[in-house]
Amino acid sequence: MAFGDYQNEIYFGGLMRGVKPTLPVDFKTLEARAQAALPPATLSYVQGGCGDEFTQDHNAEAFKSWGLVPRMMVDCTTRDLSIDLFGIKLPSPVFMAPIGVIGLCAQDGHGDIATARAAAATGVPMVASTLMNDPMEQVAAAMGDTPGFFQLYTPKNRDVAESLVARAEASGFKAIVVTLDTWVTGWRPRDLNEANFPQLRGHALANYMSDPAFRALLAKPPEEDPQAAVAQWGATFGKTLTWADLPWLRSMTKLPLILKGICHPDDARRAIDGGVDGIYCSNHGGRQANGGVAAIDMLPGVVEASGKTPVMFDSGVRSGSDVVKALALGAAAVGIGRPYAYGLALGGVAGVVHVLRSILAEADLLMAVDGYPTLTDLRAAGLVRRP
C-alpha cells in the first residue's frame, strides 16, 4: 500500500460511512486544536522558541523559498520512499525528532511510551530524548520491531554519560545521537515569564532517576529526597563539548554515532574526520539560539561537505511538502517535531499515527504528481531557489 492511499481512506470513509477525520490533516488547524488541549506550561515549553522567536518562525517560512519543478510524462503509479540508514532498512525517510517533554504531552504523562507505540504502528523511527518521563528500557520495548535512536544530552559526569549510553545499547537502540547545542539553555521568554522549567519540577527525569551512576551521586535515593535529586540533576546536566571530546564520545559506543546541531560545512567535515557515522543538521527548531539562518538554507552546504556520510535533518518541518524539499536538498532522513507532539496531545497513539500518515501521504502524493517515483529521481532534480 502506498502512503498516499491514506487520502483514499479518508475520502471513502466520508463517502461510504459519513465519517470525517477526528483530527485535522494540516499543521495550522492541528496547532490551534492542541493549544486548547495542552496545559499552559506544557504548551509554552513545546510551542515556544528562543528570543523573539524569529529563527523558529523563519525555519518554517524558509521552506517557501525553495520550489520543485514538476516533470511530466513519468510513470509514477508506484513510488519508493524507502531508505537505508546506517544499514537499517526503513519504509520511509521520516523520523520523529527528540522532544524532551513529549512525555508531558500525553494526558496520562506517558507520552514517551505512546510515541514509541506509534513508531511500532507506523515503522517511523523515534529518536528518544534523554529527558523522558519513563525509563528508556520501557520506551524501547514499546517500539516493537521499529528501530529507535537514543538522543544524548551529555552530562558533566562521564560515568553517568557512559551509563546512559550503555543502557541505550542494552535496550536495543540502533544509534546514539549527541546533541551539541544544549549544554546551557537558550533565552526563552515564554518560559522565563512564567518561571517554567519542567525538569526543575522533576518532570522528564526518569532516565536519570533510574540510572545507577547518577544515583551513586546522591546521598539519598531520589524516592526519599526528590528535591535533592533534582538539584543534583541540575548540577550534572550540560557538559560543554569540544572537538577534544570527540574521541571519548566515539569510544563510548560501537553503535552509529551522530552529531546533532551541525550547521556549518567545516564542522561537518571535522566531525566525519573524527569518526562519526552521521551528521544531523538542525538548529534545535529555533529553541536554543535566535537570529540565525534557517536550517533548510544551511542544509545544502552541510550535505555537500558530508559526502557519502548521511545527513539527518530537522527544524521547521510542518508538512509532507517540507519533507520532500529537505530530501531534494540531500537529507537522508527528515525529522518531525511539533506536529507529532500536537497529534499526541489530541489523540494519544492514534493521534501521532494520524499525523505521521498525513505527512507521509502528502509527501508521497507530491512526488507522484510532480513526476518523481523515487528519492534518487527527486534528488537528481533538486530544487529551484526563489528570488
Q: What is the DSSP letter of 126?
A: E
Q: Which of 58, 110, 203, 284 is catalytic?
A: 284
Please tell me whether 330 is known to bind a ligand: no
Catalytic residue flag (residue 284): yes
Please tell me whether 260 is known to bind a ligand: yes
Please tell me whether 315 is known to bind a ligand: yes
Strands 311-313 and 257-260, by their bridges, are unpaired
Element (DSSP H or E) covering residue 16: helix 5-17
Please tell me whether 83 is known to bind a ligand: no
Please tell me whether 242 is known to bind a ligand: no
What three-state secondary structure class fits 148? strand
Please tell me whether 317 is known to bind a ligand: yes
d(CA 285, CA 291): 12
Burial of 179 (0-12, 13-18, 19+ CB in 10 A): buried
Please tell me whether 254 is known to bind a ligand: no
Task: At 125, list the grid cell.
Answer: 523511527
Please tell me whether 316 is known to bind a ligand: yes
C-alpha distances out from residue 194 to 13, 41, 197, 230, 305, Å? 44, 8, 9, 19, 42
Please tell me whether 338 is known to bind a ligand: yes
Please tell me whether 267 is known to bind a ligand: no
Please tell me whether 282 is known to bind a ligand: yes
Helix axes 5-17, 338-370, angle to 10 degrees: 100
Strands 83-85 and 88-90, by their bridges, are antiparallel
Please tell me whether 379 is known to bind a ligand: no
Ramachandran area for residue 313 (φ above 0: left; ψ -120 to 50: alpha; else beta)? beta
d(CA 27, CA 61): 13
Please tell me whether 284 is known to bind a ligand: yes
Please tell me whether 92 is known to bind a ligand: no
Please tell me whether 357 is known to bind a ligand: no
d(CA 53, CA 291): 8
So which residues are the catalytic ones?
284
Task: Output the known binding site for FMN.
Answer: 98-100, 129, 151, 179, 282, 314-318, 337-338
Task: Output the known binding site for glyoxylate.
Answer: 45, 153, 188, 260, 284, 287
Task: Output the known binding site.
Answer: 45, 98-100, 129, 151, 153, 179, 188, 260, 282, 284, 287, 314-318, 337-338
